[in-house]
Amino acid sequence: MKAIIRQKAGKEFSTMKVQNIESSKAQSGELKIKMLSSRINPVDMDLMKGFPSLKYKNPQIGGIDGAGVVLEVGQNVKDFSVGENVFFYRLFSDIGTWAEEITIPANYCAKIPTIIDVKEAGTIALPLLTAYDSLTQLNAKKGEKILIHGVGGGVGFQALQIAKQLGLFVIGTGSQSDKAVLDKAGLDQFIDYKTQDFSQVLKVKRS
């Protein structure tokens, strides 16, 4: 099968190559997945450069996020069946989703709700968990205002949807090209970062 493999340390895509490698079998506690989609997260390039917690495998497949269909269910896995669509993220210490097939611990996988397209689901897990962590740590109360920079991006768009669920008034900085979809998701105030200075618009002091 084909996979995108790290050749050497470096942040550019030229350090990655498409290679044919052996596909693995699902071990105990794992699922084998036929990959259908994946996202390139900003941290992926840092991981390709070198990350203290990551012991690089040989070959090392890139990628953290993904979605696909279950091909094999390893022993001791209860909640998944062959043919189900799942999405997932991998730990920074155990990356590898940019391949036609992968094996992954089942406890990092979730079934894809039918309202979400399987290809879109491959872009969700890490940005969603990042946004969820950040917002729950803020402990914001219903009716409070929140400013989300980069609200049209992977993390920002998930944060917008969670913030609206929490009943917050959301102000977001982003690009004009994303405004229509942001409005549809309930953004209360949009600031075009290319033409407006948010600190002037919101009359806040920048440190």
Ligand X SMILES: NC(=O)c1ccc[n+]([C@@H]2O[C@H](COP(=O)([O-])OP(=O)(O)OC[C@H]3O[C@@H](n4cnc5c(N)ncnc54)[C@H](OP(=O)(O)O)[C@@H]3O)[C@@H](O)[C@H]2O)c1
Q: Enumerate binding residues for ligand X (CB under 6 A).
A: 41-43, 126-127, 130, 149-150, 152-156, 173-175, 193
At closest approach, how far in Å is the CB of 181 from ligand X?
Answer: 11
How buried is 55 (Cβ within 10 angstroms: 0-12 exposed, 13-18 middle, 19+ buried)? exposed
Residue 157 to residues 124, 153, 163, Cα–Cα distance (Å): 10, 6, 10
The residue among 74 and 122 lying less far from ligand X, judged by its C-beta, is 122
The residue among 126 and 166 lying less far from ligand X, judged by its C-beta, is 126
Alpha-carbon distance 107 to 89, whole Å? 10
At closest approach, how far in Å is the CB of 80 from ligand X?
Answer: 24
The residue among 111 and 149 lying less far from ligand X, judged by its C-beta, is 149
At closest approach, how far in Å is the CB of 127 from ligand X?
Answer: 4
The residue among 77 and 95 lying less far from ligand X, judged by its C-beta, is 95
At closest approach, how far in Å is the CB of 41 from ligand X?
Answer: 4
At closest approach, how far in Å is the CB of 167 from ligand X?
Answer: 23
At closest approach, how far in Å is the CB of 146 from ligand X?
Answer: 15
How buried is 179 (Cβ within 10 angstroms: 0-12 exposed, 13-18 middle, 19+ buried)? middle
The residue among 68 and 156 lying less far from ligand X, judged by its C-beta, is 156
End-to-end CA distance of the chain: 51
The residue among 66 and 74 lying less far from ligand X, judged by its C-beta, is 66
Q: Is 50 left (phi over 0), alpha (psi -120 to 50) or beta?
A: left
Q: Where are the beta strands (DSSP E) in 74-149?
A: 85-89, 101-105, 109-111, 145-148
Omega before 113 within 30 of 0, i.e. cis: no
Under 8 Å between Cβ of 22 and 102: no
Return phi, psi of residue 32, to 5°: -100, 130
